[in-house]
Structure 1
Amino acid sequence: MKTRYVIYTVLALVLAYLLYNKFFSKGAKEKQVATAGKGKRKNGPVPVNLMIVKDTTVTDQIDITGTIDANEKVNLVSQTAGSVTGIYFNEGQHVSKGQLLVKVYNQDLEASLKQVEAQMALARDINRRNEILVQKEAISKEEYETSQSSYNAYKAQAAAVRAQIGRTEIRAPFSGVIGLRSISPGGYLSPTAPIATLVNIDPAKVTFSVPERYLGLIKAGSKINFNIESSQQNFSATVYAIEPALDATSRTITVRAKAPNANNLLRAGSFAKINLTLDQIPKTIMIPTEAVIPDLKSSKVYVYHNGVALSKNVKTDLRTDTRIQIVDGLKQGDSVVVSGLIQIRPKAPLKILKVIK
């Protein structure tokens, strides 16, 4: 028990010694005085960088996103049912408008057409003879009209059979690249069964939405620049159509532009990063964003005047990555403080380190 008391006593003395050295010794007091001296605000001038305000030309641009669409795209299907007797394209092949792609069994229709054509030829010959005879008054006009009606009926019947045969031949509705086929020779093809997808993507369509506030600046003929993930190349397109109504939810307008795609670098469904030039302002004031101090009701900047800082309220508008437009509050030739703003108070003395022109 006595040993425990001795230990407690020694620990208490050590703790008291440490507290004395930290707070009450001569060295501790000198350290406190030095720290207090450092905490006092210096009354010397604040070192700053200045920028001389001047008029500059700025281009109003916005960055938005869009989608690459095909100029024309269709899912090929048959208009009639039957067995596939021929496939006349390769997957991924470029085909021309009107080119035969797929043929469905139509031999029965071909036979019907030959029969009708034979009957039509006979009716035509009879009608020609009757036309001569009616002129000579060898037959009545009614007999001639009957033969003429029979001939026209066979002509119409032949045209109907040809139309049926035409539906058994699937042809390219426009020039483009055909995709992967979903049929095989000999397979049964129904009107709902997909054959392949035909795409024309030269030119490519770029579809995007623009906020309502820029509606007056977008028109047919406006130019846009864009990039895609799969290429480092910069692409350009021309606006050709604008949706007549705003989207009620997003308050945006849908715009569509066309981009040349001779090298087939643009693919339908790709994501486009669009840079849209809205307007060019020939004369305006642009200063670094960090020079503007936001306030509750307005924004302000500090200008250098007779060696001290003067506060000026400004009105801002357009912003870029590094600069902001001043539309009111500054004039050409003003010296705007662009650094050391945290230390500055109104009428604080300033020391110029660098002037940015």
Structure 2
Amino acid sequence: MKLKTSWLFALGIIGALVLYLVVRSLITAGAGGKAEASQTPPADAIPTVQVIAVPETMHPHAVVIRGRTEAARAVVVRSETAGVVAATPAQEGAFVRPGQVLCRLEVEARAATLDQARAALRSRQLQHQAATELAAKGYRSETQVLQEKANLDAAAAAVRQAEIALEQINIRAPFAGVFDRREAEVGTYLAPGQPCGTLIELDPLLVVGDVPETEAAKLRIGAPATAKLVTGETLSGQIRYVARDADPQTRTFRVEIAARNPGNEARSGLSAEVRLGAGAGRAHRVPVSTLVLDSAGRQGVRYVTTDGLVAFSPVRVLEETPEGLWVAGLQGPARVITVGHSYVGEGQKVEAVLAR
């Protein structure tokens, strides 16, 4: 049976197409093998890493904690005598000076008592003078003169007592500060010991916080400190107190900084980021991206030695800045690996190229 011409033509086309595909696949496989062979680096090739030269410098160390502002002194000013409040000259929230009247009580009979005591004093003075003159003439004994002197002293003491009682109607500020809260209004009856109001001292202002037990030994009284308040203000001062006994719950130590606060601008109770001066030491500034972990899980950096070998040094972060991390642990000038540190190991020979 003879095949039709159309079938023969179709079989010829199919055969040509199959032959083309087979030849093309063979050529592509050969070219790919050559390309792969050309891209495979030699087994003894030295890897290239990028490094930066980091000098060793003296850097001030700082302990950074979270803190808060507190008044240097806060006193509840109380009445020393009983009476009804007649006036409140100091405005609540106003700055007051030492001795300024915060609350004034009714005078009542205190002025009359003082007048009576002064009159009795004048009488005793006259009696003492007369007794002295008569004793000089022999009409009075020495004992009578001494008795009159004692009566005179008692009268003077009574005057002083009446003056104090009259002065006690003025409840005064014991120091300069802010009259933060008034607790007695006009017409309020105050018994001895009852409060007129609360006075706080804001200059100097205290900034207090809790230091971890690992950092407390680094701090010294008088060391400089700064506090950046949540309001954006910055206060500068000195460490005035570091606790010797840790908080039993948190195992932290209280630290206090005394900072100047002109005009009482900063308030008590504000949150702050506190930087405490902790001396100075040798350190290196490295990019954050250079930190790696070794096989033991230690944080550090990889660098290239003078022999061209990769080495690892564990480091301790001292401070984080926008320019990089200040770390301690490296020795002397170092060529720290910035690119390729994750693909090389300690002791490996590398070619170091300065990063641009």
TM range (shorter): 0.7 to 0.9
User: How far 1:64 sits from its partner (Å)?
Assistant: 0.8
Q: 2:329 aligns with which of 314, 327, 331?
A: 327
Structure-2-length-normalised TM-score: 0.75
1:150-174, CA deviations, whole angstroms, 9 ceiling, x for partnerless residues? Answer: 2222222222222322332211111
Which residue of 1 is the match for residue 280 of structure 2? 280
After TM superposition, list the pairs within 5 Å mapping 1:248-267 onto structure 2: 248-267=248-267
Q: What letter matches 2:337 in structure 1?
A: V
Distance 1:129 1:295 in 2: 106
What number of residue pairs does the alignment pair up? 318
User: How far 1:236 sits from its partner (Å)?
Assistant: 0.7
Question: Identity over aligned residues, as a percent?
Answer: 21
Q: 1:151 to 1:317 in 2, by over 3 A?
A: same
SS of 1:320's partner is strand
Q: 1:49 to 1:81 in 2, by over 3 A?
A: same
Distance 1:182 1:115 in 2: 34
User: How far 1:122 sits from its partner (Å)?
Assistant: 0.5
Which residue of 1 is the match for residue 10 of structure 2? none
Distance 2:153 2:116 in 1: 15
Q: 1:273 to 1:46 in 2, by over 3 A?
A: same
Which residue of 1 is the match for residue 86 of structure 2? 85
User: How far 1:126 sits from its partner (Å)?
Assistant: 0.3
Distance 1:178 1:228 in 2: 23
User: How far 1:223 sits from its partner (Å)?
Assistant: 0.7
Distance 1:286 1:57 in 2: 11
Does the Cα contact within 8 Å between 2:302 and 2:311 map onto a contact in 1? yes
Distance 1:223 1:42 in 2: 59
Does the Cα contact within 8 Å between 2:283 and 2:326 map onto a contact in 1? no
Q: What letter matches 1:67 in structure 2?
A: R
Q: What letter matches 1:139 in structure 2?
A: R
1:274-301, CA deviations, whole angstroms, 9 ceiling, x for partnerless residues? Answer: 11221222x4445445344333286675
Between 1:342-351 and 1:112-121, the stretch displaced more is 342-351
1:12-58, CA deviations, whole angstroms, 9 ceiling, x for partnerless residues? Answer: xxxxxxxxxxxxxxx9xx9xxx9xx99xx965765532123432332
Which residue of 2 is the match for residue 225 of structure 1? 226
Q: What letter matches 2:130 in structure 1?
A: R
Does the Cα contact within 8 Å between 1:72 and 1:199 map onto a contact in 2? yes
Which residue of 1 is the match for residue 184 of structure 2? 183
Distance 2:63 2:187 in 1: 55
Q: What letter matches 1:314 in structure 2?
A: S
Does residue 136 of structure 2 align to residue 135 of structure 1? Answer: yes
Q: 1:87 to 1:142 in 2, by over 3 A?
A: same
Q: What letter matches 2:257 in structure 1?
A: A
Distance 2:332 2:85 in 1: 79
Does the Cα contact within 8 Å between 2:220 and 2:278 map onto a contact in 1? no
Unaligned runs of at least 5 residues, structure 2:
1-24
SS of 1:98's partner is coil
Distance 2:238 2:205 in 1: 11
Q: 1:343 to 1:214 in 2, by over 3 A?
A: closer
